[in-house]
Amino acid sequence: MNPVLNSALNTTINPGMAPVATPFFFYLLAGLAIAGGVLVITRRNSVHSALALIGTLLSVAGLYLMLYAPFVAAAQIIVYAGGIMVLFLFVIMLVNIERVSKERRFNRIWPAGVSAACGLMALFVFAFVKGKALFPDRLMTLRESSNTQEIATMLYGERGKMGQYSFGQYTFTFEIASLLLLVAILGAVIMTKKKM
C-alpha cells in the first residue's frame, strides 16, 4: 500500500483531541465566502462587487488557516486582497462610466447560462456521490492534534518542506512562473500604452 495513504489511515484511526470551535468557524467562513460570491455576481455597481470579492478572498484565507496552510493564507491576502484587487479597483476607476450602471446587468441568454451552471453543479454532486467509494469517510476526516510537535509538522511539513519545495523540487516551475509574470507585466504595459 502507498505509504502516504497508510500513514494517513493510521493517524485518522487514532485522532488527537479536536479543537472545540472548528465547526463554528468553518461554517462562519464558508457562509461569508459564499455570500460574498453571490454579491459579486449580483451587484449592479462594480465597486460593490469588488468589495464583496475582497470579503470572499479574506474568508477563503481564513479557511486556508483552518487547513493548516499559513503560507497560502498569507499569499492569498498579500497577492489577491492586496495586489489584484487594487488593480481591479484602479481599472474600475478608469473605465467606470455612468451608462454601465444604468444598463441591464445580465445578458439576454442568462437562463441558458444559469442552467448550464446548474448542470455543472449536478455533475459535481454526481462526482461527490460516486467519489465516496474512492475516498472513504475515515480518509476524508481531517486529522487534528493537541501535540505541538505534530501541529508544527502539519503546518510546515517535516523540517520546513515548503521552502525546500519551492526552491528544490519545483525550481524549474518557479522560474517558469516568474517568466509568466514578466510576460504579463510587459503585455499589460504594452497593451495599455496609447501610442506604440
Partner 1 sequence: MVPITTFHYLVVAAALFVLGVIGVLTRRNVVIVLMSIELILNAVNLNLVAFSRMWGNLNGQVFSIFITVDAAAEAAAGLGILIAFFRNKETINVDEIDLLKW
Within residues 16-75, the interface with partner 1 by CB under 8 A covers 18, 22-23, 26, 30, 33-34, 37-38, 40-41, 46, 49-50, 53, 56-57, 60, 63-64, 66-69, 71-72, 75
Burial annotation 121-160 (CB, 10 A radius, 16+ → b, else e): eeeeeeeeeeeeeeeeeeeeeeebbeeeeeeeebeeeeee
CA distance 76 to 39: 20
| Cell numbers 462594480: residue | 46
Q: How far is the CB of 28 from partner 1 (least distance, A)?
A: 12
The residue type of 80 is Y
Among 6, 16, 87, 171, binds partner 1 (CB under 8 A): 87
The four Cα atoms 117, 75, 7, 140 give a dihedral, to 10 degrees, of -30
Does 95 sit near partner 1 (CB under 8 A)?
yes
Q: How far is the CB of 88 from partner 1 (least distance, A)?
A: 7
- State which of positions 123-182 bind partner 1 (CB under 8 A): 124, 128, 135, 137, 139-143, 154, 157, 161-162, 165-166, 170, 173, 177, 180-181
Does 104 sit near partner 1 (CB under 8 A)?
yes
Q: How far is the CB of 159 from partner 1 (least distance, A)?
A: 11
Residues in binding contact with partner 1, number by CB under 8 A? 90
Q: Compute CA 126 distance to the chain's CA centroid, rounded to the nearest angstrom.
A: 22
Does 81 sit near partner 1 (CB under 8 A)?
no
Does 196 sit near partner 1 (CB under 8 A)?
no
At 4, give phi and psi (nearest 5°): -65, -45
Among 28, 100, 147, 175, binds partner 1 (CB under 8 A): 100
Burial-class residue 88 by CB neighbours within 10 Å (0-12, 13-18, 19+).
middle
